[in-house]
A and B are shown apart, each in its own frame.
Chain A
Amino acid sequence: MSQPLSVLAIALVCFTTLTLGALGLRLAKGTSDFYVAGRAITPWRNASAISGEYLSAASYLGVAGLVYDRGIDMLWMPIGYTVGYLVLLILIAAPLRRSGAYTLPDFAESRLESRTLRRGCALLVVGIGWLYLLPQMQGAGLALRHVSGLPTWVGATVLTVIVVLNVAAGGMRSVTLVQSVQYWIKLTAIAVPAFVLLLVWQRSGGPTPQAAASWWEPLTSDGPTSRALFTTYSTLAALCLGTMGLPHIAVRFYTNPDGVAARRTTVSVLALLSIFYVFPPVYGYLGRAYLDHGDVGGDASRTVVLALPGAMLSGLDGQLLTALIAGGAFAAFLATASGVAMSVAGAIDQDVLRPLTARLSRGEVAPATSFRLAALVGVLAPFVAACTAEPIGISSAVGHAFAIAAATFAPLLILGVWWTRLTAKGAAAGVAVGGLTTTAAAIVSVMDLAPAGWPGALVAAPTAWATPLAFAVTIIVSLLTPASRPRRWARTMTRLHTPEDVLVDGT
């Protein structure tokens, strides 16, 4: 079934994104008005940008699909996606900004003064980024197939090309304004159809969702594992602790002028995400009332949001709403993918390519060339995987990205900010153990190698054991290796925790 309106909406979103990228939107001021220096980005705008970048395919399509598929248990997912920012707010938002670090590897280097640890963290950024990019590409392919009937690789290719162009130009993604507008586009694209559909649902007498008892009863569903309570807690922990380790989110905190602004931004993000996450479950619920499994063709976790308007409204109305949702979905893919790709390309460029090219060509390669090459490498790898690999659930891949972040960057950041006796060797050991165990769990889980029951549950949601393990290893190894404690630890800790208004003005 082809829906020209939706294809048009997607084309429009792609075109707008490309144009904004090409123009390189900047604040341009003429002679009369110099005073741009005072126009720092407000916490509210930065919060919109963070939300715009954060709300990916997993939130836009995935949450509704999970609620549709597995029922009431999955209402925890949007809460988890939001609560991560509360943890971030309380534990690390302001100190992270005060550290002066731009990326997570920067933080590791600044706090622990170790180049080796920095490189390890850069590697993790690339790994987490790829895991995050993969489902965005597959989601784009599926969304385009749903509205146009084109094969999935077309959507993935379109997304990849736009992201590479944008990132290589170094333009659009970094513009806070564009990302903050993305949030409002996504909110509109999901909220307006939701209200219309709710109205239709009420008019037609409010049919009850058709579902088995396990859909209604908490903790009785047998998916994704048979240990529902454990899986729920473990997944929640991954979302709570993983948010702070997402590379594309951490860099946004640098834009805040100081630690106080970083906290304000995080509070605003909490509000904005809370508003957004009201809507996806509505689609899941209504989906149960109007769609049967045949309509969504087994791809429940991806297309229930797109299929719903067509099933509830016939003719132009349905098509218009589908077009709105499809446009919003593509905006979600593009915003998140551009942000993640930028971070991945930055890590590859700074910690792999540049040292390499500097050695091979003695500084002949221009930095822009090296960054473009990094962008290409950073996006092509997940693209090839997206086109060849069997589609894995959007939420499952993103969930594993969160789990890896929760077992590596979370211990590093939390202990780095709050524990003075952390040593470089301890942090490296913790990050290595956390990274290896969660990556192994992700591989085993995605390839479906683990038997059902406890082993299956433990690898599907590894945070409950892997993160405490990483914390323990970090602490024990730190206590055993007091000699590798960073030389300037006292100064660094003072900088991380001194509020700005206490600092003496330099003038």
Chain B
Amino acid sequence: MTAGLHLPTVVVVTGAFLALWLVVTLVRWRRARPGFISVTDQATYETLHTASEAARHLADGFTDDGCERAAPYLKAMLATPGLAICDASSVIVWEGEGRHHLPVVMDQAAQVLASGQTVVLGPDVVTCTSTDCPIRAAVIAPVVVDDRVIGAIAGYGPAVSAGLARAAEEVASWVATQVELADLGYERTRAMEAELRALRAQISPHFIYNSLAAIASFVRTDPARARELLLEFADFTRYALRRGGAFTTVSEELRNVERYLVLEQARFGDRLAITLKIAPEVLSVRVPYLAIQPLVENAVRHGLAPKEGPGHVTLSATDHGNEAEISVDDDGVGARPEAIRKILDGQSRADSVGLGNVDARLRQVYGEEFGLVVDTAPGAGMRVSFRVPKYSPALEEPA
């Protein structure tokens, strides 16, 4: 084999391939262009294309911004020299020629907005002093959404034919449909947000009761400790009841777990031993707020509280490159896997609000594959873990 490549050959071959590619692309491009199709097809195609362009701008509903951007396409659909869109109180946009008619649009549209009927105005109403101005007549059609007139579309031109009047009515009703679709989409987002809010982290009532009882027991014997515990309790509730973003860092979340553990240790004393193995890299990862504390609470309350003798909880956070894993292990009484599965499926409303809630929120935020993983058997302790991606587009949505 001879060493090296012959440079001119390389250039020629590369050039030939480039030229071939160009030709193929050009041919495809020409094919895709209209011209080989019939005139009717082309008109249909163009109308549909214009409509889809306009629909894109109306995706947010009947907003001023959207109407302004959709106006040129609507004008193209009506094929009139001028087009105005107004809402119930003012003109949003004038597109095309004859802008000097703008001040009188509201007067002309008043009847339409009041009655919801399309009107055709002749040269007797649409007067103009300028001889260059093509606008001598108008058709104004209402945009009716949910039996309510939210605005009107006015086509201005030299004359109004029956066809134009029909077209204006159709365009107005098409716009109304788009607005209804947008409202539907908005309703859906609202519903999803409400669902997320309903899933909002819950603070367990048992914990409040038990903590206060434990603190009460120290008030006489060890007032200093009782005071400390009360302050911890205050901080804990402030964190748990806060209003704000749906996400926090692992670091903040762990700080709250620590507060929780201090309070639980007041109750359990030496029966509760805790180990934290936290990779410091994980501390800055963002997680849904109150995602870790309920898992620790579950370990303490369902694993260790019913158990005789001391119990041990291990909370670990490990770094896995693009993801971080958080797990809570306990050597408590464990549970039947079927029972846990029911909780995670949301079938059981038993005491264990925590696990089901955290699982549902994780899945909602990161997707189905990021739920809780529970490993347990009766008498064998329990291990609850979940993974979170370090970056997820979901983190940017305001919640």
The answer on a CB contact under 8 Å between A40 and B321 is no
B68 in contact (CB, < 8 A): no
B190 in contact (CB, < 8 A): no
Q: Which residues does chain B contribute within 8 Å of A103, judged by CB atoms?
A: 322, 391
Q: Which residues does chain A contribute within 8 Å of B276, judged by CB atoms?
A: 28-29, 34, 36
The answer on a CB contact under 8 Å between B322 and A31 is no
The answer on a CB contact under 8 Å between A507 and B283 is no
Task: Check A170/B320 contact, CB under 8 A, given A26-B277, A29-B275, A40-B251.
Answer: yes
Q: Which residues does chain A contribute within 8 Å of B283, judged by CB atoms?
A: 37, 39-41, 257
Task: Check A507/B396 contact, CB under 8 A, given A40-B251, A254-B284.
Answer: no
Q: Report whether over half of chain B's contact residues are helix, strand or loop; otherwise say mixed.
A: mixed
Task: Check A41/B258 contact, CB under 8 A, given A101-B391, A345-B321, A449-B7.
Answer: no
The residue of chain B having its C-beta at the shortest distance from the C-beta of A107 within the complex is B391
CA distance A109 to B396 in the complex (A): 11
B102 in contact (CB, < 8 A): no
Smallest Cβ distance from A405 to chain B, in angstroms?
20
B162 in contact (CB, < 8 A): no
Q: Which residues does chain B contribute within 8 Å of A101, judged by CB atoms?
A: 391
The answer on a CB contact under 8 Å between B4 and A371 is no
CA distance A350 to B322 in the complex (A): 8
CA distance A176 to B261 in the complex (A): 28
The answer on a CB contact under 8 Å between B245 and A34 is no
Query: B369: which of A110, A174, A363, A491 is its contact (CB, 8 Å)?
Result: A363
Residues 39-83 of A, flagged 1 when their CB comes within 8 A of B and 0 if not, give: 111000000000000000000000000000000000000000000
Query: B390: which of A26, A175, A254 is its contact (CB, 8 Å)?
Result: A254
Q: Which residues does chain B contribute within 8 Å of A349, judged by CB atoms?
A: 321-322
Smallest Cβ distance from A380 to chain B, in angstroms?
18
CA distance A108 to B319 in the complex (A): 23
CA distance A255 to B4 in the complex (A): 46
CA distance A103 to B322 in the complex (A): 8
Of A37, A40, A448, most buried by chain B (CB within 10 Å of CB) is A37
Docked complex: A221-269 residues within 8 A CB-CB of B: 254-257
Of B4, B5, B255, B283, most buried by chain A (CB within 10 Å of CB) is B283
B242 in contact (CB, < 8 A): yes
Task: Check A507/B275 contact, CB under 8 A, given A38-B255, A101-B391, A492-B396.
Answer: no
Smallest Cβ distance from B225 to chain A, in angstroms?
16
Query: B10: which of A29, A34, A449 is its contact (CB, 8 Å)?
Result: A449
The answer on a CB contact under 8 Å between A27 and B278 is yes
The answer on a CB contact under 8 Å between B322 and A109 is no
The residue of chain B having its C-beta at the shortest distance from the C-beta of A30 within the complex is B275
The answer on a CB contact under 8 Å between B281 and A174 is yes
A451 in contact (CB, < 8 A): yes
A102 in contact (CB, < 8 A): yes
A100 in contact (CB, < 8 A): yes
The answer on a CB contact under 8 Å between B239 and A507 is yes
Task: Check A447/B322 contact, CB under 8 A, given A100-B396, A101-B391, A106-B391.
Answer: no
B376 in contact (CB, < 8 A): no
Number of residues from B at the complex interface, CB < 8 A: 47
Residues 268-286 of B, flagged 1 when their CB comes within 8 A of A and 0 if not, give: 0000011111111101101
Q: Which residues does chain A contribute within 8 Å of B249, judged by CB atoms?
A: 257
Smallest Cβ distance from B399 to chain A, in angstroms?
11
Smallest Cβ distance from A93 to chain B, in angstroms?
15
The answer on a CB contact under 8 Å between B321 and A26 is no
Task: Check A26/B316 contact, CB under 8 A, given A100-B396, A176-B280, A449-B7.
Answer: yes
Query: A40: which of B262, B280, B320, B396 is its contact (CB, 8 Å)?
Result: B280
The answer on a CB contact under 8 Å between B273 and A488 is no
Query: A37: which of B273, B278, B281, B319 is its contact (CB, 8 Å)?
Result: B278
Smallest Cβ distance from B56 to chain A, in angstroms?
9
B47 in contact (CB, < 8 A): no
The answer on a CB contact under 8 Å between B244 and A506 is yes
The answer on a CB contact under 8 Å between B321 and A342 is yes
Docked complex: A119-163 residues within 8 A CB-CB of B: none
Of B239, B274, B276, B316, most buried by chain A (CB within 10 Å of CB) is B276
Q: Contact residues of B with A, CB < 8 Å?
A: 4-5, 7, 10, 238-239, 242-245, 248-252, 254-255, 258, 261-262, 273-281, 283-284, 286, 316, 318-323, 369, 387, 389-391, 393, 395-396
Question: What are 20 A-B contacts with C-beta separation under 8 Å?
Answer: A26-B277, A26-B318, A27-B277, A29-B278, A30-B275, A34-B274, A36-B280, A37-B283, A40-B280, A100-B396, A102-B390, A174-B279, A363-B369, A367-B323, A371-B320, A449-B5, A451-B7, A488-B396, A491-B396, A506-B242
List 7 A-B pairs, minimum CB-CB distance, nearest first.
A506-B244, A37-B254, A102-B390, A106-B391, A174-B319, A102-B391, A34-B258
